[in-house]
Amino acid sequence: MSIEYRVDGMTCGHCVKTVEESFLENGIKAKADKERNIVILDSELSEESLKSMKDNLQEAGYSLGSKINS
């Protein structure tokens, strides 16, 4: 089951790669979609991982928003 989160700030292919690599560095497989402003994960994030990813992405210039589906 895939989980989608909103991500703001992606404007190009480099942004997509940066977002995906940021998740991968934390052991989370992700697929970013700049047209839909989302990132698709293979599994749910723990509260700790969610906070960490929000902080990491914010430092890179992106904003991880709320979960779109459950």
- Specify the CATH number for the domain of residue 60: 3.30.70.100
- pTM, two decimals, is 0.91
For the cut 80, the answer to whether the pLDDT of residue 69 exceeds it is no
Q: What are phi and psi of 6, to 5 degrees?
A: -75, 140
Q: What is the count of structural domains for the chain?
A: 1
pLDDT digits over 40-55, tens only? 998 888 999 999 999 9
Q: Averaged over 5-19, what is the pLDDT?
A: 97
Split at pLDDT 50, 70, 90, the class of 70 is: low
**Which among 70, 3, 5 is positioned nearest to 38, based on CA atoms?**
5
Do the Cβ atoms of 53 and 63 come closer than 8 Å?
A: no
Structural domain for 38, as ranges: 3-67
pLDDT digits over 21-30, tens only? 999 998 899 9
- Residue whose token pair is 């994960």: 41
Q: Are strands 63-67 and 3-8 parallel, antiparallel or unpaired?
A: antiparallel
